Structures are given as structure tokens and as C-alpha cells.
Amino acid sequence: MAIREVAGEIVLLDIKEGLAEGKVLDMYQTATLMDFDTTLTGVTNDYAATANSDVVVITSGMPRKPGMTREELIGVNAGIVKDVVTNILKYSPNAILLLVSNPMDTMTYLAQKVSGLPANRVFGMGGALDSARFRCYLAKAMNVCSNDVDGMVIGGHGDTTMIPLTSKASYKGVPVSEFLDKETLAKVAADTMVGGATLTKLLGTSAWYAPGAAVARVVESIINDEKKVFASCVHLDGQYGQKDIYIGAPAVIGRNGVEKVLEISLTEEEKAAFAKSAEAVRKTASVLTEIGAL
């Protein structure tokens, strides 16, 4: 975000003493090398420094470790996200909240319920990241420039719940099915679904660059009112046959957050997969009530 000069000022906050301050100092020392003028501030647990924020990105929580699912983080991260949301709203009651914390669909649902904010002002980043990974794997399979490939992932932000829409993926406007056989497309979809787990296994913790880039791009669309379409973890109120659920779907993102959820046509197989994904997301979200988080 700093390099793209998405916002005039960015504040990093962390509970670990000195971490945010150190990250900011390191970033600031690249300003003359990367040619950006963004004002950067790092603080330890001082929410007052975040006052009057337009957008707040919540990444707080325990990161995944190798072999751990996003769902296994729910007990710990629910408490953390509730605390963060409460403190944010004390100083930035008009902010748009963008969730990154896992399990994302559940944490986004929790953040909206705890904050009481309109659903359009609380949403999750997952689909933007998953779609970028999908395009990456498609480009690798086709040996072409990834910027010439278009593709979208909907459904839950989980290794078994996301739905790469291979039927709608294209290369320069041409369906990718004209370049890749069914077996290859199935492998691309499978690789996309475990894209995060693959990186966690290699790195020993959650990914960094792609999630950060996805966040930056979504925030840019909000701040500049670009009204770009991103697959995002959004609140559904009847779309795709679902109500009162946060799950991945294409949405127009602008100055008001989620300005419109787009209901696109799906194949019968994709409809069934979305219904199954929604059922799994609801089951995970129900844990919030079981542990007393809601």
C-alpha cells in the first residue's frame, strides 16, 4: 500500500512491543529507493493512533502452522478479532473493516455481528487472493503471462470450500478449456484450493506477499472509489439462495465498501458446490455460538 501510495497515511498496530515500529522504520528506509511519500506510523497497542481511519485491515490472530487448517484457529482468533473490532470502533466508528484473519468467513461474520456495522462496511479479502492464485496456476499450466489470464474463485476461503470457476476462466477472452484439457484444469483447481496450505508447508507459516498485495489492491479500490469487481467474502441476503452468511462471491468494491454483490450464472455442478461450501461455512460459524463468542 505504501509503494502504491494507496493512502496518504498508514498506521501499523501490533500487540508485540516494538514490532510495528520496527516494520515501519524498515519500510520508511525504502521510501527514497522505491519513490513513495506515504506517511507511516507504527504503534504498540495504541488504538488512538488509528483514529479517523477510512479503512481498517484486520490481520490479527494466530497464523497457521504446517498441517493446521484455517478452521482450527477459530477458538483463539475469535477472541482476538472481537477485541480488535471493539477498540477500532472507539476511534474510527465510520471505518470500513477488511478482514484477513482466519478462518476468514467466520471472522468476517463475527466482526459484523460484534461491530453492528452495515454489512457493506464489513467484508473479507479471501476471494481476491484465491483468484490471484487461480490465475497464477492457470498461467503456469498454459505457459503464458498471468496478466492475460482471467479467473475467479468463489465460495468459502478454505482448502475444501473454495470453488475455482474453471468454466468461466479465460485467456485473452477465450475460454481456457480451449487450451487445457479437463485433467489439467482439475489439477489447476486442486492446486488453487490448497494454495495457502502449500505455502504454509514451504514457509512454516502463512503466506506474506500475495495476501499483502491482495489487500492493497482491494483497499485501493475503496479509497479511490474504483468500483472494481473482486471476489470477496461478502454478506449474502438471498443471492445464490443463501441468507445471513458471509462467503466468497463477486462484488463491486468502492468508497462504500461492498457496493453490489453480483449474482452470476453458475453451472449445475458449481451451484451444488456452492451450496455445499455454504453448508460448511455455516457449520464453522456455528462454533462462534458454541464457544460464547456470539
**How would you classify residue 221: left for phi > 0, otherwise alpha for psi between -120 and 50, otherwise beta?**
alpha
Distance CA 218, CA 150 (A): 17
**Rounded-to-integer distance, Cα 253 and Cα 251, Å:** 6
Q: Catalytic annotation on 157?
A: yes
Long-range contacts of 218-221 (CB under 8 A, 24+ apart): 218/98, 218/125, 218/128, 218/253, 219/1, 219/6, 219/7, 219/55, 219/57, 219/98, 220/1, 220/4, 220/6, 221/253, 221/254
Active-site residue, selected from the candidate residues 157, 166, 197, 230: 157
> The C-alpha cell of 151 is what?
479467473
67 phi/psi in degrees, rounded to 5: 85, -5
Among 154, 58, 64, residue whose Cα is nearest residue 101: 58
- SS3 call for 83: helix
Gap between the Cα atoms of 291 and 225, Å rounded: 38
Distance CA 174, CA 44 (A): 50
How many residues appear in the chain? 294
Residues noted as catalytic:
157
